[in-house]
Structure 1
Amino acid sequence: MAGRWMEFGKYGAAGIPGWLAIARGLDELVTGVASPVTSKRGLNARLRYLTRSQAGYEAMARAGITATPRTIKNWVAGKQKPNNANRDKLDAAYWVLRRHNVVTDLKRRLNNNGAGTRVEIYPVDQTGVDEKRRRDISHRAINVRGAWDDMVDAWHKGPNDPSAAEMLDVIWDEVITDLGSDYDAYSYVTHIGFAA
């Protein structure tokens, strides 16, 4: 991570690491079933999605669902309902599989045939910083090209993988160097916006 924020927040600045803002932005691009898993419609949609492929069954197993194939078949048929713990695991498995299944599409959309994607960077919130310690940091916008495949791959590893966070941090540092000498002022941000 860039150097000027070695003691980030010491004087009252508020924000998050840029790499985390990118990961959250990618999370927002993953769409799926809007109905909650607690509703009949939401549960049924998740079950159909998960039982459509071997990858879905593998996602359920990784989520900790140990129900027999017969029980899962009864869930799909509506003859039996999963308990609350299994319902929550079904929801987790669904979103992990959705995340996995959108990787290729995200890369294509964000790379935009080599044109890249415009990224808007909102600097840290300095309202809690004494005026004499505030830095002159403004909203910036850059077009990111060539980094999306690596960013999406790191994001795909998931939020619980420390190597993913480290990789995203390195990539974010490379991206912000295009901002010139003031680049490390954007190591921490309040928000990063982009659409694909």
Structure 2
Amino acid sequence: MAGRWMDLGALNARGLPGADALGVAIERMVTGIASSVESERGLAARLNYLTKTDAGYEAMDRAGIHVSPRTLMAWLAEERIPNKANRSRLDAAYWDLRRRNVAADLKKRLNREGRGTRVEINPVDQTRVEGKYQRDLSGRSLNVRGVWDRAVDAWMNDDFDELDAVWDVIIEDLGSDYDAYTYVSSVGWAA
């Protein structure tokens, strides 16, 4: 981690590590079924999505769904409803598969054929920090290139250390001010 703010919040500043904000921003790009897994429609849509490909069955296996083919067929035919634990696992499997299916598209959208993506970085929230301790920080905007494949792969693998290394590369372009953006309020872009 680039920053030396080991005691973020000691003076009441609020924020999160830039790597976390980067992961949150990538996660927001993943869309899917809006209906809850608790609804009939949401459950049916998830089951349909998960049972169309081998990758869906692998996602269910990773999520811990181990039922007989007969039970799965009863779920698909809406003759039986999975218990609460299995509904939760089906939801986790759905989002896992969804993330895997959109990763390549995310890389393409963020890389934009080598042009990169303009990123908005919002500094930590200092509204609760006593005036004499506040730093003069403002939102920053920069075009980020060459790190998106690494960022998406790290996000996919829940690899915080790699996301942190990517964040360090991103904020290096801020010059001598980079350390002030180790922790941020949020990161965003339009891709």
Q: Which residue number corresponds to residue 23 of structure 1?
A: 23
Task: Give % identity.
Answer: 59
Rounded to whole Å, the distance in 1 between the matches of 2:190 and 2:104 is 16
**Correspondence list, 1:78-117, <5 A:** 78-117=78-117
Please name the residue that 1:136 is paired with. 136
Match of 2:172 among 160, 177, 180: 177
CA distance in 1: counterparts of 2:169 and 2:8, whole angstroms: 20
Deviating above 4 A after TM superposition, structure 1's stretches of 4 or more consecutive aligned residues are: none
Q: Where does residue 77 of structure 2 map in the other structure?
A: 77
> Aligned pair 1:40/2:40, yes or no?
yes
Task: Output the TM-score relative to the length of structure 1.
Answer: 0.95
Deviation at 1:54? 1.1
Instruction: Report the equivalent of 2:184.
Output: 189
- Aligned alpha-carbon RMSD (Å): 0.9
The Cα shift of 1:4 comes to 3.3
Question: How far, CA to CA, are the matches of 1:35 and 1:7 in structure 2?
Answer: 40
Q: C-alpha displacement at 1:142, in angstroms?
A: 0.6
The residue aligned with 2:157 is: 157
- Pairwise CA distance, 1:13: 0.7
Paired positions, count: 191
Q: 1:58 is matched with which residue?
A: 58
Q: Which runs of 5+ in 1 are unaligned?
A: 159-163
Code of the residue aligned with 1:143 in structure 2: it is N
- 1:10 deviation in Å? 1.3
> Cα deviations across residues 114-154 of structure 1 (Å, max 9, x unaligned)?
11111000000111111111111111001110000000000
Return the offset for 1:195: 2.2
Q: Using the alignment, how far apart are the partners of 1:129 and 1:40 within structure 2?
A: 48
1:168 partnered with 2:163: yes
AA at the equivalent of 1:187: T
